[in-house]
Amino acid sequence: MACARKLARSGMHVTLLDANLYSTFQPLLYQVATGGLNPGDVAYAAGGIAGRDRAIFRRGELAGITGLAGTTAPAGTDGARGRVTLSDGRELEYDYLVVATGISASYFGIKGAAENTFGLYTRKDALLLRDRIMSGIERLTEHDGDFHVTVAGGGATGVELAGTLSELRKVVLRSTFPDVDPARLKVRLVEMAPALLTPFSEKLRDYALAQLRRRGVDVKLSTEIAEVTPDAVLLADGESLPSELTVWAAGVAAPDAAASWGLPQGKHGRILVGADLRVQGQDRIFAAGDIALNPEDPMPQLAQPAIQMGKHVAKQIIRLSQGAAAEPFSYFDKGTMATIGRRSAVVQLPKGLRIRGTLAWLAWLALHMFYLLGGRNRINTMINLSWRYLSWGHGGGVIVGDRE
Compute the distance between CA of residue 70 and CA of residue 68 in angstroms, rounded to an integer.
Answer: 6
User: Which of 102, 101, 97 shows the shortest CA–CA distance to 313?
Assistant: 97
Compute the distance between CA of residue 149 and CA of residue 132 in angstroms, rounded to an integer.
Answer: 10
- DSSP-assigned letter for residue 38: -
Q: Annotate 333-366 with b (16+ C-beta within 10 A) or e (fewer).
A: eeebbbbbbbebbbbbeeeeeebbeeebbebbbe
Beta strands in 298-349 (DSSP E): 336-341, 344-348
3-state secondary structure of 174: helix
User: Which of 152, 157, 155 shows the shortest CA–CA distance to 234?
Assistant: 152
* Annotated catalytic residue 138: no
Element of type H or E holding 299: none
- Considering the candidates 160, 167, 191, 244, report the single residue annotated as catalytic: 160
Contact 177, 148 (CB under 8 A): no
Residues catalogued as catalytic:
160
